[in-house]
């Protein structure tokens, strides 16, 4: 990528990714140059600075990226576009072994996310088919932007076992930490506990979703929306 440099060779983590439990994933610190993410964080819209999509119900309490109406800086937009570039796709294919990845130009459900104190996202498996493109959702990449984030603030991403019974991994959403994982009907994950950060301190992230035209038969199911379990 012209404007971004990835600090790791994806092939070095492929076995770790494929064999990870409770489902294929990897957690990478400092994947991106700090200066690039510093810019995104500095220009990340505050809750009142743009037209966020607000979710406030028993399953989720968060702010989501409203792509059609968002007022974001050119630097943030360029970063999002870089995440959809062919260089990024090739890197992700080398990491995951999933060939033919396709980005989402609509950023449906993805893009910028922000959770205010008291917010949460219950444990779920993601929707499996893109509503516009009719492609199969295969991969999530979550990039966290939270400097000086403390354990007691919470906001951990939890990865649950394939039966949706209990968490197997808890990941603190600190600055320049990237989590990449395969999405299937049993890749249960979420941020189920209300955020306990101080007033005005939000949990910021960038979410990217990637697709393929078809998926392995053993992963196939009828199209469905997000499946919440907790």
Instruction: Report d(CA 181, CA 137) in Å as an integer.
Output: 11
Per cent of the chain over pLDDT 90 is: 90
- pTM, two decimals, is 0.96
Looking at residue 67, its pLDDT comes to 72
Whether the predicted pLDDT of 226 surpasses 60: yes
Tell me the CATH number at 28.
2.60.120.620
Give the pLDDT confidence score for residue 62 in this predicted structure.
Answer: 95
Q: Is pLDDT larger for residue 167 or for residue 230? A: 167
Q: With respect to residue 2, please indicate whether it lies within any of the assigned structural domains.
A: no
Computed on alpha carbons and rounded to an integer, the radius of gyration of the chain in Å comes to 17
Would you say residue 144 has pLDDT above 90?
yes
Asked if residue 165 is part of any domain, the answer here is yes
Average pLDDT, the chain: 94
Q: Note whether residue 219 is domain-resident.
A: no
Classify residue 23: in a domain, yes or no: yes
* Tokens 């393929």 found at: 212
- Residue 57 sits at the vertex; the CA angle it makes with 53 and 61, to the nearest 5 degrees, is 55
Could you give the number of structural domains in the chain?
A: 1
Section 70-93 average pLDDT: 93
- d(CA 35, CA 41) in angstroms, rounded, equals 10
- So what's the pLDDT on residue 1? 38
The residue range of the domain holding 30 is 10-213+224-228
**Displacement of CA 193 from its chain's centroid (Å):** 18
Range of weakest confidence among 19-23, 62-66, 177-181, 225-229: 62-66
Closest to 183 in 3D by CA, of 119, 132, 139, 118: 139
Provide mean pLDDT across the span 97-103: 98
Please determine, for residue 38, whether its predicted confidence score (pLDDT) is greater than 50.
Answer: yes
The more confident residue out of 69 and 36 is 36
Q: Please state, in angstroms and rounded to a whole number, the distance separating the CA atoms of residues 132 and 120.
A: 27
For residue 218, being part of any structural domain is answered with no
202 in any annotated domain: yes
Q: State residue 3's pLDDT score.
A: 60
Residue 146 has pLDDT above 90, yes or no: yes
**Looking at the domain assignment, is residue 4 inside a domain?**
no
Mean local confidence (pLDDT), 186-212: 97
User: In terms of pLDDT, which residue wins out, 18 or 230?
Assistant: 18
5 in a domain, yes or no?
A: no
């Amino acid at each position: 990528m012209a404007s971004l440099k990835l600090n790791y060779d994806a092939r070095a983590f492929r076995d770790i990714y494929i064999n990870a439990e409770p489902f294929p994933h990897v957690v990478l610190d400092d994947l991106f140059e700090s200066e690039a993410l510093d810019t995104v964080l500095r220009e990340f819209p505050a809750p009142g600075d743009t037209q966020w999509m607000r979710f406030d119900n028993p399953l989720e309490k968060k702010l989501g990226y409203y792509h059609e109406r968002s007022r974001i800086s050119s630097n943030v937009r360029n970063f999002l576009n870089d995440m959809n570039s062919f260089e990024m796709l090739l890197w992700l294919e080398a990491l995951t072994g999933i060939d033919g990845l396709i980005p989402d130009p609509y950023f449906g459900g993805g893009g910028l996310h922000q959770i205010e104190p008291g917010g949460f996202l219950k444990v779920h498996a993601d929707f499996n088919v893109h509503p516009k493109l009719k492609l199969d959702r295969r991969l999530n990449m979550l990039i966290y932007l939270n400097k000086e984030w403390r354990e007691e603030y919470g906001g951990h991403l939890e990865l649950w076992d394939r039966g949706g019974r209990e968490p197997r991994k808890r990941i603190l959403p600190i600055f320049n930490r990237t989590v990449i994982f395969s999405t299937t009907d049993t890749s249960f994950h979420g941020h189920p506990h209300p955020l306990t950060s101080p007033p005005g301190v939000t949990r910021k992230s960038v979410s990217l979703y990637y697709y393929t035209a078809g998926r392995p038969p053993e992963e196939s199911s009828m199209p469905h929306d997000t499946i919440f379990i907790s």
